[in-house]
Amino acid sequence: MRAATLANGMRVIVWPVRNIPNIALYNWVRAGSRNEAPGATGLAHFFEHMMFNGTSRHPPGEFDRMMEAEGGANNAFTSDDVTVYQDWFPANALELVLDLESDRVAHLAFTPAVIESERGVVASERRLRVEDNSHGLLAEQVQATAFVAHPYRFPTIGWPADIRSWRLEDLQAFYRTYYAPNNLTLALAGDVDPERAIALARRFFEPIPAQAPPPPVRAVEPEQLCERRVLIRRQAQTPLLQCAYKAPRAADPRGPAVNLLLSALVEGDASRLHRALVEDRQLAIEVSGHWQEGFDPGLLWLSLMLPEGGDPEEARAALDAELAAVAADGVTEAELERARNLATVGLWKKLAAIDGKAQLLGEYEVFHGDWPQLFDAPERIAAVSAEELRAVAAEILDVRRRTLGVLVPSGDAAGAGPDTGPQSSGA
């Protein structure tokens, strides 16, 4: 394996693997909805779409046409913290792919007609993921309620009015600020000679000048003083319950303990919450959770899907009783061992494919500051003690530091009140 820092500050990491004649590429940009401001939310995500829509060298559509004609496929995603561009291609397309990737970092061009058409695409994506989706609709409100100062309160896809109003100047300013080589980390895994990959990366990316680093996100979310609650009524059959607890940043040394806690609570049929809420008491039909691991302290989510007619209040009380027990007593040695083993197998499953390798390399470099830490992960998983896990549970699973979201079908009596909106229609 090889890693290099180009003269302009861009990081390149290469992992040669020769199982299949292909390469996976992840280009990480340190820009997400965390870097946005009111009135222009969703810009990082919209920008991700525009990165496929033409440069001064290649007109709109050419990026995909050229890559696919050489056997490559691509995608991208945006989160609160980062925007990540992914390519999967046959080894002999490496030069073309690096050429295309560097071209859009150096020479992106904006065509007004394409901006308008892409605005429609993003609006459609929002209807799919938020407006016609109970989970998305509720999560957006919970996230916006959990933070009062930090930009993590913005939905990554953007508020509807902002989607309608982005201007060309917003895109140009975003490009200048964040799409600098010193703000990028490129991870490659697959059928490639590391020396050659780094030489090609130098050839294509090094001519792009470094820029002043983007302004830091200075907002610090103040301590949450009390539980916050959101209730949505929507035309639906099944209720939802989402709990978002304030949680540490990705680089926090307690990270492995947080992940094992989450696993002990919701991963698999033997997990604490699945067994208690889905199997024993049948209050929920599914439990799930995830930790939003970012540059700044974020959220640990626990979500319950309830059956039709299910009582969110009864489910919440049962959930709270389970969590209080874990915060007080931790989990059993068997539960901890199970979480450790599941985490280890999960790591190996990702490492079995070049896609997972490239993704993990980038993730560790960007969020943990150092890709070789990836190889310490098994040891760090093994080292988490029962006491550490209990301490993390006691700290995070504090009702005062959570936001509780409930979605009930609009006809239901739960959370009774005179109002009947907001609903999804016409949103």
Partner 1 sequence: MTVRVPAHERLSLGNGVALVLVPRRDVPLIAFNAVLRGGGLGDPPQRPGVASLLAGLLEKGAGERNAYAFADVVEGVGGSFGAGAGPEAITVRGQFLARDQQLMLELLADALLRPLLDGEELEELAARHIELIKAAKDSDPAELIGTYGRGFLFGSHPYGRPVFGSEASLAAIDREDVRRYYEGQFGAERLILVLAGDIDADLLARMAADSFSRWPRTPAPPPALARPRALAGRRVLLVDFPGSAQTYFWIGNVGVDRRYPRRAALDLVNTLFGGRFTSLLNTELRIKSGLSYGARSGFARGTVAGEFSLRSFAQTENTGQALDLALRTLARLRQEGLTREMLDSARAYTLGQYPLGLETAADWAGMLGEIELYGLGRGYIDDYPAQLAAVGLAEAQAVIEEAFPRADSVAIVAIGDAARIRGAVGEYGPVSQMTLTDPEFSAPWTSGDENRP
Spatial separation of the C-alpha atoms in residues 269 and 261, rounded to whole Å = 15
CA-wise closest residue to 176 among 106, 233, 122: 106
Spatial separation of the C-alpha atoms in residues 248 and 37, rounded to whole Å = 23
Site for partner 1 in 301-330 (CB under 8 A): 305, 307-308
Peptide bond into 422 cis (omega under 30): yes
CA-wise closest residue to 358 among 10, 21, 28: 28
Is the distance from CB of 73 to CB of 83 less than 8 angstroms? Answer: no
Of 134 and 359, the one with the shorter C-beta distance to partner 1 is 134
State the nearest-atom distance from the C-beta of 19 to partner 1, in Å.
6
Is the distance from CB of 389 to CB of 213 less than 8 angstroms? Answer: no
State the nearest-atom distance from the C-beta of 303 to partner 1, in Å.
11
Of 22 and 27, the one with the shorter C-beta distance to partner 1 is 22
Of 5 and 282, the one with the shorter C-beta distance to partner 1 is 282
- The yes or no reply on residue 423 touching partner 1 (CB under 8 A) is yes
State the nearest-atom distance from the C-beta of 192 to partner 1, in Å.
13
Number of shown-chain residues binding partner 1 (CB under 8 A):
77
- The yes or no reply on residue 7 touching partner 1 (CB under 8 A) is no
Spatial separation of the C-alpha atoms in residues 373 and 380, rounded to whole Å = 10
- Eight-class DSSP state of 424: S
Query: Residue 83, SS3?
Result: strand
For residue 136, give both structure tokens. 């998305």
- The yes or no reply on residue 135 touching partner 1 (CB under 8 A) is yes
> Would you call 227 a catalytic residue per the annotation?
no
Applying CB under 8 A, the span of 86-94, 171-179, 219-227, 391-399 interacting with partner 1 comes to: 86-94
* Ranges assigned E (strand) in 20-122: 22-29, 73-78, 83-90
Q: How many CB atoms lie within 10 A of CB 387?
A: 10
Applying CB under 8 A, the span of 118-126, 163-171, 222-230, 383-391 interacting with partner 1 comes to: 118-126
State the nearest-atom distance from the C-beta of 69 to partner 1, in Å.
4
Please provide residue 305's backbone torsions phi and psi, each rounded to the nearest 5 degrees: -95, 130
Site for partner 1 in 257-286 (CB under 8 A): 267-271, 275, 278-279, 282, 285-286
- The yes or no reply on residue 118 touching partner 1 (CB under 8 A) is yes
- The yes or no reply on residue 288 touching partner 1 (CB under 8 A) is no
- The yes or no reply on residue 161 touching partner 1 (CB under 8 A) is no
| Whole-number CA gyration radius for the chain | 23
Contact characters 328-347, partner 1, x per CB under 8 A: ------x--xx-xxxxxxx-
Q: How many CB atoms lie within 10 A of CB 339?
A: 25
Is the distance from CB of 150 to CB of 220 less than 8 angstroms? Answer: yes
Site for partner 1 in 14-53 (CB under 8 A): 19-22
Q: How many CB atoms lie within 10 A of CB 20?
A: 12
Binder to partner 1 among 1, 9, 109, 125 (CB under 8 A)?
125
Q: Which listed residue (48, 118, 322, 363) is catalytic? A: 48
Binder to partner 1 among 8, 79, 111, 238 (CB under 8 A)?
238
- The yes or no reply on residue 236 touching partner 1 (CB under 8 A) is yes
Binder to partner 1 among 134, 141, 242, 403 (CB under 8 A)?
134
Q: Give me the DSSP letters along 268-282.
A: STTSHHIIIIIIIS-
State the nearest-atom distance from the C-beta of 150 to partner 1, in Å.
27
Residue type, 410: S
Binder to partner 1 among 38, 61, 213, 372 (CB under 8 A)?
61
Applying CB under 8 A, the span of 58-66, 78-86, 103-111, 242-250 interacting with partner 1 comes to: 58-66
Of 210 and 351, the one with the shorter C-beta distance to partner 1 is 351
* Ranges assigned E (strand) in 79-221: 83-90, 184-190
Q: Which residues are catalytic?
A: 48
